Structure 1
Amino acid sequence: MLNLNPTELLAWRGFLHTHDTLWKALDAELDEDGLNLPAYELLTTLQEAGTGGLRMTDLARSLRFSGGGLTRLADKLQTQGLIERRRCATDGRGWEALLTPEGQRKLRRVHARHLRSVRTLFLDRLTPQETELLAALWARFQAPAAPGQEDPE
């Protein structure tokens, strides 16, 4: 059986603990406005996409959601009047989602406060050099593992 050395164990458990702590704090803050982190990420992704919105399949891929998970969240946000779904103009089989004017207003209301919390809880604890290093390191995890790196056994 493989084991982690003490430094590796601290790095791994530190990542897990930090992710959990930050997620809970940021999610609780957004809950005051009736959102959660996945909903906030969906709204910001649609805002970045512009007035044309995004195909639901592209949105699910971008957000790392299953189709069913995205549908449930989109149903909730549509019921709240924050997004709209419509048939794709270029392909009548597909659906696209876009931010409604109410969704834009809601996002403007929560965006600045959320980013202040991200800065306070995370970014302010790092030097600019550490932030650059983390940004570069996270990029490594976005790419698939190289052949032979999937299972070190």
Structure 2
Amino acid sequence: MPQLSDTEMRAWQGFLHTHDTLWKTLDTELAREFDLSLPAYELLLTLEEAGEAGLRMTDLARSLRFSGGGLTRLVDRLQQGGLLERRRCATDGRGFEAVLTPEGRRLLKRVHVKHLQAVRALFLDRLTPEEQNTLAAIWDRLQSPPQEKPL
């Protein structure tokens, strides 16, 4: 059975463990300080970037890599909290758009400052600028389609 080399194993497991630790820590801090999950923060941030027009629910789900049901539950919760609203699409009455409310914008500004501080403390400040550049280039390469290898 094929095996990974020690270096390959360290690279792969390091990525998995680091991602898991950072995600859980950031999610816990947001929940403790703002009663907001990391996926909820990402959703609110995506809506802020979309502007006043908001985003169709299908586009929002695709952008956030959510299932339709998972997005609906999260949007329901954020709507109940007054952070966003859902409205019928003006161009297609069958669809819905999610739009950030003024209260959602205010909360997002407070959360954003604390979240970026945590990202810097837990991750970015532990890397040199050169390491950040290298890592950014690696993520760019891994997010592009794989190249076909000749046989």
Normalised to the residue count of structure 1, the TM-score between the two structures is 0.93
Counterpart of 2:2 in structure 1 is 2
Could you tell me which amino acid in structure 2 is paired with residue 9 of structure 1? M
Which AA in structure 1 matches 2:29? E
Find the aligned partners of 2:64 and 2:145 in 1 and give their Cα distance.
Answer: 17
> Residue type of the partner of 2:22?
L
What letter corresponds to residue 88 of structure 1 in structure 2?
C
| 1:93 to 2:94 alignment | yes
RMSD, matched Cα: 1.4
Q: Distance in 2 between matches of 1:147 and 1:57?
A: 31
Equivalent residue for 2:134?
A: 133
Post-superposition Cα deviations, 1:63-92, rounded to whole Å, max 9, x if no partner, equal 011111111111111111101111110111
> Which residue in 2 is equivalent to 1:27?
27
Which residue of the partner structure matches residue 73 of structure 2? Answer: 72
Gaps of 5+ in 1: 149-153
Q: How big is the shift at 1:137? A: 1.1
Same amino acid, percent of matched pairs: 70
Q: State the one-letter code of the partner of 1:139.
A: D
Give matches, 1:98-117, under 5 Å: 98-117=99-118
Could you tell me how far apart the structure 1 residues matched to 2:146 and 2:40 are?
29
CA distance in 1, matches of 2:36, 2:67: 19
Alpha-carbon separation, structure 2, partners of 1:147 and 1:97: 39
Residues in 2 aligned to 1:94 and 1:143: alpha-carbon distance in whole angstroms: 31
Q: Distance in 1 between matches of 2:79 and 2:97?
A: 12
Paired with 2:96 and 2:142, the residues of 1 have a C-alpha distance of 30
Residue 140 of structure 1 and its aligned partner are, at CA, apart by: 2.1
Structure 2: state its 5+ residue gaps: none
